[in-house]
Structure formats: C-alpha cells, structure tokens
C-alpha cells in the first residue's frame, strides 16, 4: 500500500462540467494544481518517518486536498491526524465491516441512510435517532456506523467537491441515548470530525428536538468552530425544513417521493460493493510516537490523553 503501482497512474478527470466549475471556484482546483498537489503529497508520505503504509491513489489523497482547498501542508496534516486517530481509536474507526452483526442490524433499522437525490449537488446523510436502540448498542457502535457509511462515500469525487448536508430527526431520542456518551467522548468525536475527517460539512439540520436532546446538542455545538456553528439549523416542524431543503429529495415519510426503505436497500448494495476496500483501510499504519511524530503531543492535549503517551489507558466502550 505504498506509492507504487496503480497509485502513480495519471489521474483522469471524468467530472461533469458543473462540478469542475465549482471545484475551480470554491477550491482553486485545476488540472495543474491537482497534479502538483498529488505529487507533493505522495513525496511527503514517502518521506514521513512514521507512516509505514498508506494509500496514495488519487481518490484517497484528493479527499484531503479538496477538504483543505489544495493547501498541501494542511492536507498533509489532516491525513496524518486521520491515520493517528485510526490507531488511537480502533473501536471507532477500524474493522468497519457491513457484515458485522451489530453494525448490519443498526443499518437495517434505518438509523443512518444516504439519500438518493442530492441537495444542491451535495450528498445528504439522513439520521433517525429513534431507530438506534440505546439499550442494545453502545456509543462505539453508533460512531462505527457513521465511520463505515462515511468511508463508503468519501472516495466519490462529487462528494469531495460539493460536500455534505446532514438531516437529523431527533424524535425518539431518549435519556438513554445521552447516557451512552461521556462528555469526553462527545468532545473527542467532535474534534475528530472537525480536524481529521476529510469531508466538507456544508449544512446540518435538526428536526423534532426533545428537551432531553437539546442540552446535548447545545453542548456539542459549543465545541464546534464558528464556521460549523453557523451551518447548524433547528426546526420545530418538517415544514420549516422545506424552506431550506427541497422536499422532493426527502424520504417519502417526510414528504418526499421515495420510501426510506428503498433508499436503504440501494445503499446497502453500495456497502457490499465497497466492503473489501473499506476493510483494507486497516492495512494503513502510522507509528504513534511522541518523540518522532510531533503532532501526537498536540493531539494528546486536544483529546485529553495522558502526556506520558500511554495510549493503552484509553477507555474503550
């Protein structure tokens, strides 16, 4: 999984014209910048003393370059963080297997479903809190489902450029959902999302928020950077959501045209197709050592891990 073989094949752009136009306008991306940036990232990976195995194919590296608008240093730092958190939190980010019994049950329940149609070009991730059983599953299961589904979407170049819309139906949210997470977990998950996940988070919509959910959501929002805070919207009714998101793209149960079960069945085929490539991500490896990898110390402080670097003390759900 080094930088040889297919990884070095020349990138062929097959994007639709309107997506290329958005990439140029929003990300400064053109053929020249893209090629130079890919080459620089591959050289950086090859020279990095701690990165032992890493994907270097264009779809993977472009996740980071596009999220960071082709700033190669920022893209490299995000990739390094991404590799480090996979080592630090294997119970959240490794062995993402759609055939795992628990993960398959949570997905089948319809807890998190990518919609078929896009929101102004963006992939829409639709979650229903009430479809996650907090008495049967842990916070690690919840985070793992999100990790699995986003890994299945992140190599898609249209998603990389246009970004993501999130719609969260919080009806059915219980106190038991809150008790799944320690405050430290919430903090660490949000830091991972902001600093290590190569996705352009464009808007986040919340429906049917109960009084028990509002406290957790307010706490979570307080930990976000200003840009992400400004992209959060809350609604008292689904009708208010229609003012921001075209109702036609929503599941039939929310006023759209296609039933949620149909959208889920379609996406489950995608998960099966991508199963081996997602599991192969576990072959990537970075040595997590404070002395030779300065970013580790910084991340220790951010994530509240003991400064002695003994990651084995991390609590695993």
Report the CATH number at residue 113: 3.40.525.10
Same domain, 124 and 65: no
Both structure tokens of 13:
């752009």
Contact yes or no for 147/56 (Cβ under 8 A): no
Same domain, 151 and 79: no
pLDDT digits (tens, 9 = 90+) for 51-75: 999 999 999 999 999 999 999 999 9
pLDDT digits (tens, 9 = 90+) for 239-255: 999 999 999 999 999 99
Same domain, 113 and 160: yes
- The Cα 190–Cα 222 span in angstroms is 10
Same domain, 249 and 144: yes
Average pLDDT, the chain: 89
Phi, psi of 179 (to 5 degrees): -70, -10
Same domain, 246 and 291: no
| Predicted local distance difference test score (pLDDT) of residue 217 | 84
Q: How many other β-carbons are positioned within 10 Å of the β-carbon of residue 152?
A: 21
Domain limits at 152? 100-276
Same domain, 51 and 85: yes
Considering its fold, how many domains does the chain have in total? 2
Contact yes or no for 34/75 (Cβ under 8 A): no
Pick the more confident residue, 24 or 307.
24
Same domain, 118 and 197: yes
Same domain, 63 and 44: yes
Q: For the full predicted model, state whether its pTM sits above 0.75.
A: yes
Same domain, 112 and 199: yes
- The Cα 117–Cα 73 span in angstroms is 34
Contact yes or no for 15/157 (Cβ under 8 A): yes
**Mean per-residue pLDDT, 104-120:** 97
pLDDT digits (tens, 9 = 90+) for 142-199: 999 999 999 999 999 999 999 999 999 999 988 898 889 888 888 888 888 888 999 9
Q: How many other β-carbons are positioned within 10 Å of the β-carbon of residue 93?
A: 22
Same domain, 88 and 104: no
Same domain, 225 and 257: yes
pLDDT digits (tens, 9 = 90+) for 267-314: 999 999 999 999 999 999 999 877 766 777 777 776 665 433 333 333
């Amino acid at each position: 999984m080094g930088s040889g073989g297919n990884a070095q094949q020349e990138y062929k752009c097959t994007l639709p014209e309107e997506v290329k136009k958005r990439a140029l306008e929003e990300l400064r991306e053109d053929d020249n910048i893209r090629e130079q940036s890919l080459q620089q990232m591959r050289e950086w990976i090859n020279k990095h003393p701690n990165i032992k195995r890493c994907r270097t194919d264009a779809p993977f590296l472009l996740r980071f370059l596009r999220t960071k608008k082709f700033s190669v240093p920022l893209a490299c730092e995000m990739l390094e963080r991404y590799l480090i958190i996979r080592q630090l939190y294997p119970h959240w980010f490794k062995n993402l297997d759609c055939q795992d019994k628990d993960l398959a049950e949570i997905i089948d329940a319809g807890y998190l479903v990518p919609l078929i149609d896009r929101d102004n070009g963006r992939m829409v991730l639709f979650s229903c809190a009430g479809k996650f059983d907090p008495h049967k599953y842990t916070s690690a299961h919840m985070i793992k489902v999100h990790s699995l589904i986003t890994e299945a979407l992140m190599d898609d170049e249209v998603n990389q450029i246009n970004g993501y819309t999130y719609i969260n139906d919080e009806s059915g949210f219980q106190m038991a959902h809150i008790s799944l997470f320690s405050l430290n977990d919430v903090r660490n998950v949000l830091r991972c999302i902001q600093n290590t996940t190569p996705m352009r988070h464009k808007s986040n919509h919340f429906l049917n928020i109960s009084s028990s959910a509002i406290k957790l959501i307010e706490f979570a929002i307080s930990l976000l950077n200003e840009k992400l805070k400004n992209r959060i919207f809350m609604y008292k009714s689904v009708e208010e959501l229609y003012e921001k998101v075209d109702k036609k793209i929503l599941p039939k149960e929310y006023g759209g045209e296609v039933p949620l079960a149909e959208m889920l069945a379609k996406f489950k085929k995608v998960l099966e197709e991508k199963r081996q490539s997602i599991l192969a991500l576990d072959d990537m490896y970075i040595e997590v050592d404070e002395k030779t990898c300065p970013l580790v110390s910084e991340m220790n402080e951010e994530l509240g891990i003991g400064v002695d670097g003994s990651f084995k003390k991390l609590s695993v759900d």
